[in-house]
Structure 1
């Protein structure tokens, strides 16, 4: 689940995204202060909560940290607007330390590599175009569902016919201070703990 709030830009409306993919066809349904966003199959892809500041404490800024307190407030808001829907939220970190187990050339693209990356308890296949990615590195991985500082949402993808789940990040993409301008992923120190959360400022 991702949440966005920009009171100056669009008013007192909280935008809540429940699916990583944007539906091709959107079917809105209004219930009081809530507009449900449904896909063609009738599944709730997200919702807009109007008069949001009366339901939850919201910081100024586009990206809102999804906490248990926020989810509780949103669940109460849905109930007050007579919507029978239970929010199921994954609170696991979306930016984590990964270890590049292997790197192979992409079969259909000269400048891309297919990496197998351990993120602690699971292994992800990530297609990476950075010139400096190598086997044995500790790196920052944005998992599917992560929202980059730029606002881009990380989704499952297929790059030139090869599946990719997540992104190996550069310092620039993570909006770190003094990030180098040249292309290349951020390589972490050897003592970085694989699977641990990496703090990213939205």
Structure 2
């Protein structure tokens, strides 16, 4: 679940992205200050909350992080508008430190690798990666499905050359870190980086 706020371009509206629309046509149902966005197959993929500054303190611009209390206020707003759906109050970090457990060459590509990346003690993701420096044993930054990159790109499960991929292993440039190198390659973290910990760009 992604929260985004950009008053200069969108107005005083909180955008909430909950799922991938997969390119399907969208239907919008508006009730008061709330609009629900659904795909033609009736999946809810997002919400717009208008006049958000009247509901909670001013937001940062771009992707924003909300507290459980703030998400509770959003759920109350949805209910008051007449919607029965609710947003999960506990939001897991989408950018985390991962450990590359395995790395094998893609059979149908001369530059892609298929990796298994541990992103938590109980979660391992298969991620197809095209970085030249990807290898087994690295600590890396993983954008999990549902993450929004600094340039606004959304990360969803996908398929590369016939192989499923669930996330992206990030470079410093993709994360828009200061002094990011121009050459291609993922960001390599120190060995003492803690797997599963949220990554904030430090």
Report the TM-score when normalising by structure 1. Answer: 0.93
Larger mean CA deviation between 124-133 and 73-82 belongs to 73-82
Contact kept, 8 Å, 1:97 with 1:194, in 2: the verdict is yes
Equivalent residue number for residue 184 of structure 1: 185
Equivalent residue number for residue 8 of structure 1: 8
Alignment of 1:61-72 (within 5 A): 61-72=61-72
Equivalent residue number for residue 41 of structure 2: 41
Contact kept, 8 Å, 2:21 with 2:39, in 1: the verdict is no
Equivalent residue number for residue 87 of structure 1: 87
Runs of 4+ in structure 1 deviating by more than 6 angstroms, as ranges, are: none
Alignment of 1:1-202 (within 5 A): 1-22=1-22, 24-120=24-120, 121-200=122-201
Task: Count the aligned residue pairs.
Answer: 201
Structure 2 runs not aligned, ≥5 long: none
Separation in structure 2 between the aligned mates of residue 4 and residue 58 of structure 1, nearest angstrom? 12
State the superposition RMSD in angstroms: 1.6
Separation in structure 1 between the aligned mates of residue 137 and residue 27 of structure 2, nearest angstrom? 46
Structure 1 runs not aligned, ≥5 long: none
Report the TM-score when normalising by structure 2. Answer: 0.93
Secondary structure at the counterpart of residue 70 of structure 1: helix
Separation in structure 1 between the aligned mates of residue 82 and residue 168 of structure 2, nearest angstrom? 39
Separation in structure 1 between the aligned mates of residue 99 and residue 126 of structure 2, nearest angstrom? 12
Deviation at 1:183, TM superposition (A): 0.3
Secondary structure at the counterpart of residue 154 of structure 1: coil
